[in-house]
Amino acid sequence: MSRCLSDRSIDHVVLERGEVANAWRTERWDSLRLLTPNWQCRLPGSPYGGDDPDGFMTASEVVDVMAQYAKAVAAPVHTGTTVTSVRRADDGYLVVTDQGEWRCETVVLASGAFNVPRVPEFASALPPSVATRTTMTYHNPHELDDGGVLVVGASASGVQIAHEIQRSGRPVTVAVGEHVRGPRMYRGRDIHWWMHAAGVLDERYDEVDDIVRARRVPSMQIAGSPDRATFDLNALTGIGVQLVGKFAAVSGTRAQFSGSLRNKCALADLKLGRLLDTIDEWAITSGLDDSVPPPHRFEPTRVPEPPRLGLDLAGGEIRTIIWATGYRPDYSWLDVDVLDAKSMVRHDGGVAESPGMYVIGMPFLRRRKSSFIDGACDDAQDLAGHLAAFLDGRAASAR
Ligand SMILES: Cc1cc2nc3c(=O)[nH]c(=O)nc-3n(C[C@H](O)[C@H](O)[C@H](O)COP(=O)(O)OP(=O)(O)OC[C@H]3O[C@@H](n4cnc5c(N)ncnc54)[C@H](O)[C@@H]3O)c2cc1C
């Protein structure tokens, strides 16, 4: 966004409580690599310039890319500056930080979509003998006690963490709710290559039937491992991971799991089939069909029969629970009436319901790719254009 504002000669500052790429420095587990291929690390005016476009960056490589980019575009970043309040003042906003105050006509909320782990309320009823972590406080399997681990959530974070813990010798059970199944490779190409090429990632927020639902869709079960392995539930059960349904409640010392595991898996299989249909249709219309391996479908998800519906957490089978149940943004510092009942900013494609306020970096903000690094470019250009027009309109009416 800073680069796009500079392109339009719009005077601005970027306030950051940590260092550039703070979340990638401080909130990721040790082995995490981007699940998007390196070529998708494009930023405004800066295509991927490395020698491994199909590889997957480590978190520290992401930090380097972001830090170099901030320098290259001379982004006016004030690091170590925590915003503690934003409120309406006169015709603009008063931004209070721990380093002083700013007055501005417009504000862009770029504070991230993944600030706080979403942990269900019943977590407070867990027996004290079970240690708990979130994807933000988990670093690697070796810091965990020996013994069984329950990973709650089967999206990208959950399946990656379950995989490496099972490999460390600790038996893993994964509680599976709604999820999006994906193979890493299909017909000889990366699934992200296909989704980009077929236009799936460019689908716009005003083109989908139910944008509220589309914004809640969990991340696809993929990982950026150097061997390009698939991380779906069949891959997990293939190495001995146990599956149970969604973690629904705690009763006494007993964990209760939903009986919907089979249905959730069948739905994910069905949706994967639809995605592959879209890809196959695009391969035909684009003339690529004959030059790539033929279409094929993946084995349905194998589900235990009958699935386990409960587990005694005081029995010693589970020593650690890891909540991989997603994240939410933190707007505790936003003192503007622009949040909905779920504490999300009310906005139309990033234009917030408060004059001169914008939000960027949210799932499906303007396009399906909006929460990816690669999505920031188009969104920032669109929103910088809107912001410039807003300032022009202000200036014209002041004349
Ligand atoms: C586990 C995980 C894996 C991911 N993997 C990928 C991937 O493979 N590929 C991909 O493209 N995307 C991935 N993402 C999404 C990724 O986080 C985003 O693409 C990217 O980091 C979003 O950048 P952002 O600047 O919008 O938000 P963030 O990176 O979250 O940055 C927001 C910044 O705002 C700062 N901030 C917050 N509140 C305040 C405040 N009050 N005052 C001052 N500063 C504040 C934070 O310190 C932070 O630096 C992943 C996300 C997670 C959680």
Binning the chain into helix, strand and coil, the percentages to the nearest 5 are 30, 20, 50
Provide the residue ranges of all domains of the chain, joining segments of one domain with +: 2-115+329-398, 116-323
Say how far apart CA 387 and CA 361 lie, in whole Å.
16
Q: What is the pLDDT of residue 398?
A: 87
Nearest residue to 153 via CA among 194, 204, 129, 119: 119
Distance CA 150, CA 320 (A): 6
pLDDT score, position 399: 87
Kindly report the pTM of this predicted structure. Answer: 0.97
Per-residue confidence (pLDDT) for residue 239, from 0 to 100: 98
Ligand 1: nearest atom to the Cα of 110 = 26
* Mean pLDDT (10-residue bins), the chain, 399 residues: 98 98 98 98 95 98 98 98 97 97 98 97 96 98 97 98 98 98 98 98 97 96 97 98 98 97 98 98 98 98 94 96 98 98 97 98 98 97 98 93
- Helix, strand, or coil (residue 17): coil
Task: Please report the pLDDT score of residue 350 as a whole number.
Answer: 98
Residues contacting ligand 1 via CB (< 6 Å): 15-18, 22-23, 28, 34-36, 82-83, 110-112, 114, 157, 327, 333, 361, 371-374
Compute the distance from residue 27 Cα to the ligand 1 centre, in Å.
9
Q: Domain 116-323 belongs to what topology?
A: FAD/NAD(P)-binding domain (3.50.50)
Round the CA-based radius of gyration of the chain to a whole number and report it: 22
What separation in Å is there between the alpha carbon of 301 and the centre of ligand 1? Answer: 31
Going from the Cα of 112 to the center of ligand 1, the distance in angstroms, rounded, reads 5
Q: Distances from the Cα of 272 to the Cαs of 183, 277, 328, in angstroms?
A: 9, 9, 26
Query: Among 196, 179, 232, which Cα is nearest to 368's?
Result: 196
Name the nearest CA neighbour of 126 among 399, 284, 321: 321
Q: How far is the CA of 396 from the centre of ligand 1 (A)?
A: 36
Closest CA to 176 of 201, 202, 152, 147: 152
Distance, in Å, from the CA atom of 109 to the CA atom of 105, rounded to the nearest integer, reads: 13
- By DSSP bridging, strand 351-352 and strand 347-348 are antiparallel
At 200, which amino acid appears?
V
Q: Which protein residue has the closest C-alpha to ligand 1 atom 24?
A: 112
Q: Which atom of ligand 1 is the closest one to the Cα of 33?
A: 8
Give the pair of three-digit tokens for residue 76: 């006016």
Distances in Å between the Cα of 42 and the Cα atoms of 369, 373, 374 are 12, 7, 5
Residue 245 and residue 277 in contact, taking contact as beta carbons nearer than 8 Å = no
Residue closest to 322 by CA, chosen among 112, 155, 111: 155
Distance from the alpha carbon of residue 245 to the mean position of ligand 1, in angstroms: 29
Atom of ligand 1 at shortest range from CA of 35: 8
**Residue 193 token pair:** 């290559």
Burial class (CB in 10 A: 0-12, 13-18, 19+), 272: buried
Mutate to test the pocket of ligand 1, among 135, 328, 371, 377 (most ligand atoms within 8 A of CB): 371
d(CA 339, CA 122): 25
Q: Please tell me the distance from the alpha carbon of residue 179 to that of residue 155, in angstroms, as a whole number.
A: 6
Identical topology for domains 2-115+329-398 and 116-323: yes
How far is the C-alpha of 277 from the C-alpha of 200, rounded, in Å? Answer: 12
Ligand 1 atom closest to Cα of residue 360 = 26
Task: Note whether 79 and 20 are within 8 A (CB).
Answer: yes
Q: Which of 4, 22, 118 to mutate to test the pocket of ligand 1 (most atoms within 8 A of CB)?
A: 22
Other beta carbons within 10 angstroms of residue 372's beta carbon come to 19
Range 2-115+329-398 classified under CATH 3.90.550.10: no
